[in-house]
Structure 1
Amino acid sequence: MAPIGIAILGAGIFAKEAHLPAITALGSSLSSLKAVYSRSEGSASQFAKDAQQSLKLADAPNVYHDGDDSVNLDVLLARSDIQAVIVVLPITLQPSIVRKALAAGKHVLSEKPVAPDVASGLALIKDFDTTYKPKGLIWRVAENWEVEPGFHSAAKILASGAIGKVTSFNVRVVNYVAKDSKWYKTPWRTVPDYQGGFLLDGGVHTIAALRVILPSPMVSLSGFASLNMEHLPPHDTINATVKSADGSHGIIEITFGAPVPSRSQLANNGISVTGTEGWVWIKQEKGKDANGGEQQVFRITIHKVTRNEKGEDVGETEEVVEEPACGVEQELKRFFAAISGSDDGLGSPLGALKDVAWIQAALNSNGLPVDLQKLVVE
């Protein structure tokens, strides 16, 4: 099958530092980058130059931007040699661009979160299901943590009963965001016009991971949200208790408002899941690739009760499993496969909406219980 003609819509940090390397790593047999769009000509042109070098192209991808009607987004979307687009734009812009791309007959992979809030996400999903899905178009949400091999390995370990019945879980995600951080200096993040700020933008990753790992979905939440660092409005911290459908429960801390770097560095970030026969600890670490080079990995440490022939507890064993961090490559590979007719169901907009619903519930709970399932009922 010929490579899928694609365009990147957005030329910011994540497009350059995550999507372009992933497209490069997957190789030219799956996709062919034809064009790049950005609101500004300068950023689009620089991305095109970087792409030409990274992908070893004879010619740079064509540049489209808002400064010239002859090369604007509508012109790009009219091209018949572009079958799919990858949308990497500010959160509040994404729904309108997704609709525009679908209306032009393009398959779409849009960056998380699926929408700024549950209501707009439901409306977008309804439009897709009623108008564009029947036409055979594919729309997936690029939530890289949903497809990380490490989280899927952890899910299989729990599903196997290796640590018995899951009883509880604990999540700690502590981030320090300095004013000179490249992520903070992104204009649309500096003055966010959407709920939660960094909590929505980054927090959905953690909830997506839990959606994959836990054997039973989270159904109820009670929490508090606050702003602790003035430069990170409207909120930077969530603390919540949650309950899953099977009765297991957990405590989740997500903050981007650490006052100093050490608060994040020494927090021992990660996800722990406890069962009747042991516990599992999942965290992102620096590891080694096959050639001995450094790479990011998800390390899963499994602690299991050891029992003698009488069934008595006589100690514990420890096993470590590592999986490379390669979620962006995985989401792109799976998106291209879905276009080619092999859809594994991951990256579904409704799944991504559940992550937004969780963040929205935590922001608005103020200590009162929130039914998470009712939030995403169409």
Structure 2
Amino acid sequence: MAPIGIAILGSGIFAKEAHLPAIVAVGSSVVELKAIYSRSEKSAASLAEDAQVVLKLASRPDVYFDAAPNANLDSLLARPDIQAVIVVLPITAQPNIIRKALLAGKHVLSEKPVAPDVASGLELIKDYEADYKPKGLIWRVAENWETETSYQEAAKAIRDGKIGKVSFYNARVVNYMDTSSKWYNTPWRTIPDYQGGFLLDGGVHTLAALRVMLPSPIKIVSGFASLNREFLKPEDTINAVVQSADGSHGVLDLTWGAPTSSASARAAKGITIMGTDGWLSVSSVTIVDGPKSVGGMRVTVVTAKKDKDGNVTGETEEIIDKVSDGVPNEIRFFVNAINGSDNGLCAPLGALHDVAFIEAALNSKGSPIDIERLMKLA
């Protein structure tokens, strides 16, 4: 089968540092990068030059930018040899570009979050379901935590009954952000025109991981949001109590407003899920992969040993270390879906559920909000 011709729309940090290496990992027999689009010629050309080096191409991918009448986004989308696009643009710019690409008959993999808010996300999904899905076009949301092998392994352990029935859980994210960070100095993040700032941009990752692992979706959210570091407006912290549809419940703490870098490095964080017969945790680790150390995730699965009367007599422990592979996987799964083999991961409606949690927690002020009702009312 011939490789899928793709273009990257957007030329920021994540396109360079995550998507280009992921394309290498997926392989040229699966995808062929043909073009780069950005609003400016300079940024598009810079990413194209990086792509030539990283992908070891004979020439750089074609460059498209807004000021070029014959080499703008419309020209790119008119190319029949480009079947799909990866959209890596600012959050509020993505919905219109997604629509434009779908209208041009392109399959779309768009970076998370699915949209800046529930209402616009739901409208976008309805348009896709009505107008483009029936034509065979694939749209997936690039939520790499959803496709991480570590979270999939954790989900399988829970499905296999290794911790019994899920009873309660917690997730804690502690991040330190300062004004010198490359992530903060992305202009659209410095003055965000969307709710929640880094909470929306980064917080959806944790929600996606929980959505993969928990056997029942989070339904009720009661929380508080606050701003603890002025330059991270509008909010940088969420503390929430949640309940899943099956009655299990948990506590979620998300912050990008830690006061010092040591908090991000040393404060307890990660995801823990407790069951009737054991518990499971997922946390970040450094894994030795050949000659180098790389980022990865550790899944710890502890199962209670019981006698015939149900008394706990001990426990077994299983450690699963996996190198982070979410971005290559999301591209692989996207291409598989285009080719007719869809595993259902990264569906837009699931990504909307993650946005709905953030929106609910930002607006709760302690009152319980039903996420499913919020999505229906939007």
Which letter maps to 1:351? Answer: G
Q: One-letter code of the match for 2:147?
A: V
**How far did residue 318 of structure 1 move?**
2.0
Shift in Å, 1:80: 1.0
SS in 2 for 1:155: helix
Equivalent position of 2:51 in the other structure? 51
1:112 is displaced (CA, Å) by: 0.4
Q: Distance in 2 between matches of 1:310 and 1:112?
A: 48
Which structure 2 residues correspond to residues 198-277 of structure 1 after superposition, within 5 A? 198-277=198-277
* 2:314 corresponding residue in structure 1: 315
1:25 aligns with 2:61: no
- Give the CA deviation at 1:373: 1.0
Structure 2 residue identity aligned to 1:323: K
Counterpart position of 1:195:
195
Q: Determine the structure 1 residue equivalent to 2:299.
A: 300
Question: In 2, Cα distance between the equivalents of 1:25 and 1:155?
Answer: 24
| Structure 1 gaps, min length 5 | none
The separation in 2 between residues aligned to 1:204 and 1:296, in whole angstroms, is 20
Question: Which runs of structure 2 are paired with 1:159-170 in the superposition (5 Å)?
Answer: 159-170=159-170
Take 2:6 and 2:318, find their aligned partners in 1: how far apart are those partners?
Answer: 42
Return the offset for 1:135. Answer: 1.1
Secondary structure of 1:71's partner? Answer: coil
Match of 1:12 in 2: 12
The 5-angstrom pairing of residues 85-96 of structure 1 reads 85-96=85-96
Letter in 1 for 2:293: E
Aligned to 1:351: 350
Contact 1:172-1:267 at 8 Å conserved across structures: no
Q: Percent identity?
A: 62
Q: CA deviation at 1:265?
A: 1.2
CA distance in 2, matches of 1:332, 1:269: 28
* Other structure's SS at 1:123 match: helix
Deviation at residue 315 of structure 1 after TM alignment:
2.7
Show the counterpart of 1:278.
278
TM-score by length of 1: 0.98
Give the 3-state SS of the residue equivalent to 2:279 in structure 1: strand
Aligned AA (1:163): I
* Residues 13-59 of structure 1, C-alpha deviations (whole Å, 9 max, x = no match): 00000000000111110011110001111111111111111111111
Q: Which whole-Å deviations, capped at 9, do the CAs of 1:58-91 have from their partners, x for residues lacking one?
A: 1110001112222111111111111100000000
Q: CA deviation at 1:268?
A: 2.1
Letter in 1 for 2:228: N
| 309-318 or 69-78: bigger deviation | 309-318
Call closer, same or farther: CA 1:231–1:308 in 2, change over 3 Å: same
In the alignment, the residues of structure 2 paired with residue 183 and residue 204 of structure 1 have an alpha-carbon distance, to the nearest angstrom, of 16
Between the aligned partners of 2:311 and 2:31, the Cα distance in structure 1 is: 56
Measure, in 1, the Cα distance between the counterparts of 2:321 and 2:82. Answer: 37
Alignment coverage as a number of residue pairs: 377
* Partner SS for 1:168: strand
| Partner-residue secondary structure (3-state), 2:74 | helix
Q: Secondary structure at the match of 1:208?
A: helix
**Deviation per residue, 1:273-313 (Å, 9 max, x gap):** 01112111111111122x25312221011222222455422
Ranges in structure 2 where 5+ consecutive residues have no aligned partner: none
Query: Structure 1 runs of 4+ off > 6 angstroms?
Result: none
Residue in 2 that maps onto 1:145: 145
- Amino acid across the alignment from 1:272: T
TM-score with structure 2 setting the length: 0.98
**1:160 Cα deviation from its structure 2 partner:** 1.4
Give the secondary structure class of the aligned counterpart of 2:345: coil
Structure 2 CA distance for aligned equivalents of residues 234 and 139 of structure 1: 30
Q: What amino acid maps onto 1:58 in structure 2?
A: A
Per-residue CA deviations over 1:157-202 (Å, capped at 9, x if unaligned) read 1111111211100110000011100000000000000000000000
